[in-house]
């Protein structure tokens, strides 16, 4: 694997990843053109509920990529099919459970998030329509993970773009042209999620790498493979819980600041999310290469994945840090026209620059270990980082207010990189 091949693999994955936050902006933009401001709030609250639900089960995509890449590297055709069918059954089951428990989920979420009566009513309308797409949204994770594991990254990007365009067009048609309001936006997202599964299945069928005839219940239920899949998904789930705990604590403490400070922090967090998706594209490329290397039992190729990840992770970290410094005013102006908010965001922007440098390697290692399906290392690293974050956060916020909050944030990502690095040799010994 050369540097050119690595970047050729990574670019479609980066573009596909960037489309995720852009998709959420479509619903908000359409809602902003409706007659009542509560519609925007309803969409924001409803989307937040689904973002949390689906984020918790994002392991379905990550683990599927790892298992699929390993099966492809080992040239095990039956296991290649099982790498899709096993998590697909889990996704379907979880999605149906979400539908069955929709009222308790909605009531608990609205109680926790809060909002005016009108906002809550609109959020409930959005939720009660979109919840029927839960099985399809989770199955989309599996399909995307399988396509990535097969190195079909251009098809991954194509399917993502088609779904995004479909959602945008239907949102405009239903909400604005047919005047369905929030219900129209929810219906558009629901149809897009169903369409995403159909598009993904069509691509899989076109690849001729998998078919219905490959579905064998005995192979799917092999205890050894099931235990491995459950263990990997469990550890990825715990990793997500740790991330959610960190971001929740950060958000809760940030909410105690002034409104201007809170708004400035929100802009910086959006920049952080965008950067994280960019780094995730590289991490996904590393995951594919590492998974194939493990399947092939090739120590040379596995080490090559680590080298490529380190080089390009560093290049992207430095490049993005320079771009943030050079174009900070223009970037922040895209999020707010308020001069005070812009000033606050500029004052604290250097923390996001430090995040680029501190967090890049940790994200790359997560990609490598996910591809190798040795995610216990990711779980341990992020758990230790969370403990350190809580300690630093408690002390730093008391001493330096918002600077202390961002210091703890950067320390978390730095520790994530350092602690995960400690397991590199142990993982290699387990694999080879």
Q: Which of 90-104, 196-210, 339-353 has the lowest average pLDDT? A: 196-210
Q: Please identify which residue in the block is written with the tokens 């329509």.
A: 129
Q: Which whole number is the average pLDDT over 248-271? A: 82
Residue 137 predicted with pLDDT over 90:
yes
In angstroms, the CA 55 to CA 50 distance is 8
C-alpha closest to that of 288 among 79, 141, 81, 69: 69
Q: Do residues 289 and 301 lie in contact, with contact meaning Cβ atoms separated by under 8 Å?
A: yes
Q: Quickly state the pLDDT bin for 68 (edges 50, 70, 90).
A: very high
Residue 384 predicted with pLDDT over 70:
yes
- Output 196 or 114, whichever has higher pLDDT: 196
Q: Quickly state the pLDDT bin for 165 (edges 50, 70, 90).
A: confident
Element (H, E) at 412: helix 376-421
Domain boundaries, the chain: 1-221, 222-432
CA distances from 422 to 345, 369, 384, 419 (A): 34, 12, 12, 5
pLDDT of residue 75: 84
In angstroms, the CA 311 to CA 31 distance is 42
In angstroms, the CA 233 to CA 298 distance is 25
pLDDT of residue 27: 67
If you average pLDDT over every residue of the chain, what do you get?
89
Q: Is 348 helix (H, G, I), strand (E, B) or coil?
A: coil
Q: Do residues 353 and 325 lie in contact, with contact meaning Cβ atoms separated by under 8 Å?
A: yes
Residue 164 predicted with pLDDT over 80:
yes
Q: Which of 35-39, 86-90, 270-274 has the lowest average pLDDT? A: 35-39
Buried b (16+ CB within 10 A) or exposed e, 16-35: bbbbeeebbebbeebbeebe
Residue 23 predicted with pLDDT over 70:
no
Please give the share of the chain, as a percent, with pLDDT higher than 70. 94
Residue 247 predicted with pLDDT over 80:
yes
DSSP-assigned states of every residue in 147-184: HHHTT-HHHHHHHHHHHHHHHHHHHIIIIIIS--THHH
Q: Is 68 helix (H, G, I), strand (E, B) or coil?
A: helix
Q: Do residues 267 and 93 lie in contact, with contact meaning Cβ atoms separated by under 8 Å?
A: no
In angstroms, the CA 37 to CA 373 distance is 46
Q: Which of 11-15, 287-291, 352-356 has the lowest average pLDDT? A: 11-15
115 phi, psi to nearest 5 deg: 130, 170
Residue 70 predicted with pLDDT over 90:
yes
C-alpha closest to that of 314 among 351, 362, 277: 362
Q: Quickly state the pLDDT bin for 293 (edges 50, 70, 90).
A: very high
Q: Do residues 367 and 427 lie in contact, with contact meaning Cβ atoms separated by under 8 Å?
A: no
pTM of structure: 0.88
In angstroms, the CA 280 to CA 275 distance is 9
Q: Do residues 170 and 191 lie in contact, with contact meaning Cβ atoms separated by under 8 Å?
A: yes
* Straight-line distance from the first to the last Cα atom of the chain, in angstroms, rounded to the nearest whole number: 19
In angstroms, the CA 317 to CA 311 distance is 10
> How does pLDDT run across 217-236, given as a tens digit for each residue?
666 667 777 888 889 999 99
Residue 333 predicted with pLDDT over 70:
yes
């Amino acid at each position: 694997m050369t540097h050119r091949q690595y970047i050729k693999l990574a670019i479609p994955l980066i573009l596909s990843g960037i489309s995720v936050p852009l998709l959420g902006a479509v619903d908000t933009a359409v809602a902003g053109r409706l007659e009542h401001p509560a519609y925007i709030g309803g969409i924001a609250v409803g989307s937040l509920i689904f973002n949390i639900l689906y984020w918790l089960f994002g392991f379905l995509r990550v683990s599927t990529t790892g298992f699929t890449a390993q099966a492809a590297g080992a040239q095990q055709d039956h296991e290649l099919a099982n790498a899709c069918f096993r998590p697909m059954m889990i996704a379907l089951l979880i999605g149906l459970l979400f539908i069955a428990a929709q009222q308790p989920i909605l009531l608990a979420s609205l109680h926790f998030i809060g909002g005016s009566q009108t906002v809550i009513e609109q959020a409930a309308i959005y939720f009660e329509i979109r919840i029927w797409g839960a099985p399809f949204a989770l199955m989309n994770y599996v399909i995307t993970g399988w396509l990535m594991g097969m190195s079909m990254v251009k098809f991954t990007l194509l399917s993502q773009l088609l779904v995004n365009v479909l959602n945008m067009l239907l949102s405009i048609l239903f909400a604005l042209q047919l005047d369905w309001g929030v219900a129209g936006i929810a219906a558009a997202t629901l149809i897009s999620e169903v369409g995403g599964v159909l598009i993904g299945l069509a691509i899989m069928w076109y690849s001729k790498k998998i078919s219905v005839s490959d579905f064998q219940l005995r192979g799917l239920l092999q205890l050894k493979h099931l235990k491995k899949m459950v263990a990997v998904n469990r550890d990825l789930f715990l990793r997500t819980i740790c991330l959610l705990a960190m971001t929740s604590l950060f958000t809760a403490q940030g909410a105690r600041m002034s409104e201007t400070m809170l708004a400035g922090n929100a802009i910086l967090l959006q920049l952080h999310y965008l950067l994280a998706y960019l780094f995730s594209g590289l991490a996904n490329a590393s995951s594919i290469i590492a998974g194939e290397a493990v399947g092939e039992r090739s120590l040379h190729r596995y080490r090559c994945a680590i080298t490529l990840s380190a080089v390009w992770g560093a290049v992207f970290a430095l490049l993005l840090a320079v771009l943030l410094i050079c174009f900070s005013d223009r970037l922040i102006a895209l999020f707010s026209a308020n001069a005070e908010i812009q000033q606050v965001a500029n004052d604290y922007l250097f923390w996001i620059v430090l995040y680029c440098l501190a967090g890049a390697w940790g994200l790359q290692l997560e990609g490598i270990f996910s591809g190798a399906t040795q995610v216990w290392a990711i779980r341990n690293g992020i758990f230790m980082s969370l403990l350190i974050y809580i300690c630093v956060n408690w002390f730093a916020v008391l001493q330096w207010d918002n600077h202390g909050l961002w210091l703890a944030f950067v320390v978390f990502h730095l520790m994530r990189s350092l602690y995960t690095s400690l397991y590199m040799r142990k993982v290699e010994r387990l694999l080879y």
